[in-house]
Amino acid sequence: MNRGRSIIFRCISLLCVATLVAPSIAEASRRQDRAIEKRMRKHIEVLASDEYEGREPGTAGEAKTLKYLARQWFKLGLVSGTNDPGNEWFAPLALVAREPATSTAQFRRRGRRVSVPDSETLMLTSGKRSLIRNAPLLFVGNGEGLDLRRTELAGRVAVILDGDVDDSKRQSALLAAGASGVLTVLDADRTLAQVSARRERTGYALSDDTLGGDLEGFITRAGMDQLLRGTRYSLKGLERVAKRRNFSPRRLGVTASLEATTRETTILTHNLIGMIPGRRPATGAVLFIAHWDHFGICGEQTAEDAICNGAIDNASGVAAMTEIARQLLRSKRVFDRDIYFLATTAEEFGLLGAHGFAENPPLPLTQVVAAFNLDSIALAPRGTPLGIVGRGMTGLDDAIAQVAALEGRRIIESDEANTYVRRQDGWALLQHDIPTVMVTSAYGDIDRMRRYFESHYHRPSDNFGRKIELGGAVEDVKFHVALANWFADAGKYVPAGQ
């Protein structure tokens, strides 16, 4: 009987302890969440302040951004991850900025010049200068669905009708088929001024890249009518012919000399790279990545707010990555694999910082067993499931699902988030065979993400003055800590083929 009472008392005691411990664990978790949110909010407030002028690469805003982040990372206990004693923490990257300068178009028919006003044409090039001399014009309709032989287009300028398909896609296809250039005839819904406003923007590339000198031109309907005057064709007639099922390209009996030039500026910018050294670096590395840059002064100078502060895109991602590093370092855990933290530049200019990292990496790229991008994550409330940008594109999905099960997180069973895979740094790393995904609650509700894209995205209104939702972002930080613990453990995660 006494033994029975003793067992009962022990059970009651354990139950009492469990009853007392459970709320204390829950409260500790809530305190941790509040602390993470408070620090993230402070990071975003600083990085998205007007003082940082929109964090444009090559500006004073870049210097302030990198100084702030490097100071935070150093205080946390990260070490430089550049593996370059000459460039600790900051990996330099030279960009070439090109903006349209001159545009010239001259046409001849039977050796005589055809007068088309300069105001009716626009010539653009991606290189420093692109020139075509006396090239015959070949009308190819809408430029789609044709079996174009290379010899048919070689040395000619392809003339295409405006349409719903993106200009660059049709241009690339025609150039690949041998065209010297492409001339688009605008329809009634699009003006030359609209094309100029959209296309005559500064273009950027890595200075080591060989930029193409492809020439793309646009001509108004009035200009095309003038060009065809005196030939056996009219623009309306060509439009009717292009609709025929048996349409074939038409030689217009007109030659073109086209030229476009750009102004060139070199910009020196930087990636910021920190790391937590592992005890067995030969087993590989885990990479976290978030771009620090944004558009700088992007609105009209006369506007009340002309700064694109980029609070969500992507001060939130950099803030989250900083807090992931903090949590990992506070755990005092010694990891098998190195863990790198990469804040990239020039993501908004074409994922250039990520490409620069991959082309001049601080470690062999084959060593990176998993990379996780954090971009525009301050959108979803607590409890939102996870979406994966890059789902099905790497060998990481099963391991991520295991971690999610252990952490009590749900992953939506949809590839819809992959619609946006080309719009983030992970795409650049995937092109270099680095297994990279973006796992975030921000893509757990695609409609919410779309609403952001249609409202504040890439606009001055993406600032700290608005209410920023960090509930889901805090949960994402904690989930990425769990991902780091799993993927940096050589015993838990073994990449396929090893």
Is the C-alpha dihedral spanning 204, 206, 208, 209 positive or negative? negative
Q: Is residue 394 part of a domain?
A: yes
Residues 181 and 322 in one domain: no
Is 31 a member of any domain? no
- Residue 86 placed within a domain: no
pLDDT digits (tens, 9 = 90+) for 14-65: 555 555 555 687 788 889 999 999 999 999 999 999 999 999 999 999 999 9
Decide if 158 contacts 138 (C-beta within 8 A): yes
Q: Round to whole Å and give the CA distance between 123 and 140.
A: 19
Q: What is the pLDDT along the chain (498 residues), one digit of tens a residue?
A: 455 455 444 545 555 555 555 568 778 888 999 999 999 999 999 999 999 999 999 999 999 999 999 999 999 999 999 999 999 999 999 998 888 899 999 999 988 999 999 999 999 987 888 999 999 999 999 887 777 665 588 899 999 999 766 667 788 888 888 899 999 999 878 888 888 777 655 677 787 654 456 889 999 999 999 999 989 999 999 999 999 988 989 999 999 999 999 888 899 999 999 999 999 999 999 999 999 999 998 866 556 788 999 999 999 999 999 999 999 999 999 999 999 999 999 999 999 999 999 999 999 999 999 999 999 999 999 999 999 999 999 999 999 999 999 999 999 999 999 999 999 999 999 999 999 999 999 999 999 999 999 999 999 999 998 889 999 999 999 999 999 999 999 999 999 877
Helix (H) or strand (E) holding 42, with range, is helix 2-47
370 & 253 share domain = no
Residue 433 in any domain: the answer is: yes
Q: What is the dihedral of CA 413, 417, 418, 422, to 10 degrees?
A: -160
Host domain of residue 183: 97-264
Q: Verify that 281 and 385 share a domain, yes or no.
A: yes
Q: Which two tokens stand for residue 63?
A: 């210097």
Say if residue 132 is in the same domain as residue 45. no
**Of 264, 294, 315, which residue is a domain's last?**
264
17 is a domain residue: no
Query: Which residue, 216, 240, 264, sits at the end of a domain?
Result: 264
Based on the number of CB atoms within 10 Å of its own CB, is 302 exposed (0-12), middle (13-18) or buried (19 or more)?
A: exposed
Q: CB neighbours of 170 closer than 8 A, spacing ≥ 6?
A: 142, 143, 144, 160, 163, 182
Say whether both 227 and 316 belong to one domain: no
Domain ends where: 264, 285, 310? 264
Instruction: Answer yes or no: is 13 within a domain.
Output: no
CA distance 137 to 117: 18
For 87, the 3-state DSSP assignment is helix
pLDDT number for residue 392: 96
Same domain, 311 and 395: yes
Phi, psi of 406 (to 5 degrees): -65, -35
Structure tokens that stand for 78 in this block: 């990260």
Measured CA distances, 249 to 57, 160, 202, 226 (Å):
45, 10, 34, 20
Q: 58 with 162, same domain?
A: no
Q: Are residues 110 and 72 in the same domain?
A: no
Please give the Cα distance from 286 to 42 (Å, whole number): 27
Co-location of 160 and 300 in the same domain = no
| 386 DSSP 8-state letter | B
CA end-to-end span of the chain, whole Å?
A: 60
* pLDDT of the residue at 373: 98
- What is the count of structural domains for the chain? 2
Q: Domain check: are 259 and 326 in the same one?
A: no
CATH number, domain of 253, equals 3.50.30
**For residue 464, which amino acid is it?**
F
Convert the pLDDT of each residue in 127-170 to its tens digit.
888 999 999 999 999 887 777 665 588 899 999 999 766 667 78
Q: Is 253 in the same domain as 323?
A: no
In DSSP terms, 113 is beta-bridged to 108
Q: What is the CATH number of the domain that holds 331?
A: 3.40.630.10
Residue 26 falls inside a structural domain: no
Distance CA 219, CA 221 (A): 7
Angle between helices 471-487 and 397-407 (to 10 degrees): 120
Give the Cα separation of 309 and 466 in Å (integer).
12
- Examine the domain organization and report whether 221 and 324 are in the same domain: no
The answer to whether position 4 is within a domain reads no
Are 380 and 451 in contact by the 8 Å Cβ rule? The answer is no
